[in-house]
A and B are shown apart, each in its own frame.
Chain A
Amino acid sequence: MTFSPQLEERFARMLTAYPEGRKRSAVVPMLIYAQDEVGAVTPELIDEVARRCEVTPLQVDEVVGYYSMLHRKPLGKYHVQVCTNISCLLVGGMELYEHASKKLGIGHKQVTADGQISLEEVECMGACSWAPAVEINYDFHHHVTPEKLDQLIDGLRKAQ
């Protein structure tokens, strides 16, 4: 498997960051960056990361199951993550999640039929003082109201 030149360059740098003989250290970052490009952690990707990091595919597989941001199935092009943890809960996070679910017609970790948008109810993502918060892919949105969320989602639909 090969990745984009930018990612290949990142991986090359990554593998030099850790001490001699410790390529395994690159497993988690390599998986998440590769997932962003490939769309999911596929069996081929597991084998590839294992090869590059000099570990067994099983050792990579164990890691994939552990981290909540790693997904074996593709997410939407836009992954809408709504926090409902305590700080967000107190200021409407749960209602926001339910609003998003209704608007998109999908539930937790589901993807819209066109494959464009996926939804996830997530744990605290470090935006507590500016709650409720939503992260779309890696972009944070603070003080999100149902109206603002509508605009955001409509914007994603237009961007397609």
Chain B
Amino acid sequence: MSKKLYNEPSPLETRILSKRFGLENSELLATYVAHDGFKAFRKAREMKPEEIIEEVKTSALRGRGGAGFPTGLKWSFVPRSSPKPKYIVINADESEPGTCKDRLLMEYDPHQMIEGILIAGLALDAHKGYLYIRGEYRYLIDHMDRAIAEAYAQGYLGKNILGTGFDFDLYTHSGAGAYECGEETALLDSLEGKRGIPRMKPPFPAVAGAWASPTLLNNVETFSAIPAIIRDGGAAFAALGTPKNGGTRLLCVSGHVNKPGVYEVPLGYPMMKFIQDIAGGIPGGKKLKAVIPGGSSCPILKADECDIPMDYDSLAKIGSMLGSGGMVVMDETTDMVKVALRIMRFYAHESCGWCIPCREGTTWLKKILQRFDDGGGRAEDVGLLGELSKNMLGRTFCALGDAAAMPTISIVEKFAEDFEKRLAKDRQMVAV
């Protein structure tokens, strides 16, 4: 069963994680094994756990879920010697608006991720993994169940994997519609059968995660990068990117581009080159207005801020984030009032409601933006939007409040003229 790719690959990509995408029956274990599959696991089997972690540290791999935390460091926090069972939880709750890459990694190359998980299991002395997949991806749950069954059948999961004496069980677990469950501790509560409310930290999941046991949580793409790192060496992976920003990552580009799609490029790839050459530029020869660089939680960039390399640190320097790799491109016709409203509608809908500033703040902001968009804007609204967002920023229980505040602050500050234009139009309507 070969599947047509959702978008044509670009010759400018550096395909490490996605190198098997498009192969005949790419999702089958046999295909994976025929194309370097499980070489890394066999190699890892011969390594000491600390060597595996060291290799991951060397790779300068940073978490691909959004926060960009150094993966090797995260692995080193899990107390290997703990008498409690250790768990690996794979975050496949891909929900950040603009992001659609984990889907492909699971759909086209599930065994690459499984191999990454097994290597983490070796490194941490963990023997059980839970793949938390968002409920909307039901077809992927079924798909992963098939891949897992295939791996069990051929001795790549279960007892005594490949005769190494290492046991590992992997299970899929369905979410049921909640963006908040992408936050790792909310995901753990959800995994435990509760409402997805984030947990207080400390303790961090590395110490007390799933069922109060030491737990490693990483994103699908993070685990998918592990086999290449172990197989070819952390240094080789690191060398693909820029210092402290190792390797390649899958960028999902959407919005106003000629060739929207998911493309794999090294960290530090120039943003404008990516938009122009890989994503095919903006349709109709229109001008670029704004870019959300890594999912809707990231502060928005004006066109003149986009001439930068895409790595975690460069984006941070200009006050935004590389996030989850969901790049949304907007042309000059885009109405930023509508963009701000839609983003805030999302966060108000997804706020778990646990803490006051996020619960009440997102809803208030949504109501102001809705009124503004409906033609009831007032001059003081623009300032109020910014101020209320700042009253959420840094004061909420988890990062969702920040995720709602940051894009809003950046939009009202950078695109105030869109709001002014609306006010002028409303005044005109009244005058007529």
Contact = CB atoms under 8 A, between A and B. Distances in A.
A90 B255 contact: yes
Interface size bucket, A side? 35 or more
Interface in B184-236: 190-196, 211
A89 B342 contact: yes
Contacts of A131: 254, 260
Contacts of A91: 254-256
Interface residues of B, number: 58
Given A126-B95, A126-B100, A29 B174 contact: yes
Interface in B83-107: 85, 94-100, 102-103
Of listed B85, B175, B177, B261, residue having the most chain A CB within 10 A: B177
Interface string B103-137: 10000000000000000000000001010001111
Interface stretch (B59-67, B240-248, B343-351, B393-401): B343-351
A35 B163 CA distance: 41
B56 interface: no
B193 A63 contact: yes
A33 B102 CA distance: 22
Nearest to B262: A129
Contacts, number: 155
A140 B253 CA distance: 18
A13 to B, nearest CB: 9
B85 A55 contact: no
A40 to B, nearest CB: 13
Contacts of A142: 6
Interface in A78-103: 84-87, 89-91
A24 B192 CA distance: 6
A85 B97 contact: yes
Interface stretch (A1-9, A67-75, A152-160): A67-75
A28 to B, nearest CB: 5
A139 to B, nearest CB: 7
B350 A123 contact: yes
Interface in B115-169: 128, 130, 134-139
Interface in A51-68: 53, 55, 59, 62-63, 66-68
Contacts of B349: 68, 123
Interface in A122-146: 122-131, 135, 138-140, 142
Interface string B326-362: 1010100010001100110010011010000000000
Contacts of A89: 338-339, 342
Nearest to A26: B193
B254 A129 contact: yes
Given A67-B135, A90-B334, A129-B262, A124 B97 contact: yes
7 contacts: A32-B135, A32-B176, A70-B177, A85-B342, A85-B346, A123-B349, A128-B326
5 closest Cβ pairs, A-B complex: A69-B177, A27-B193, A68-B177, A67-B176, A87-B254
Interface of B: 6-7, 85, 94-100, 102-103, 128, 130, 134-139, 171, 173-179, 190-196, 211, 252-256, 260-262, 292, 296, 326, 328, 330, 334, 338-339, 342-343, 346, 349-350, 352
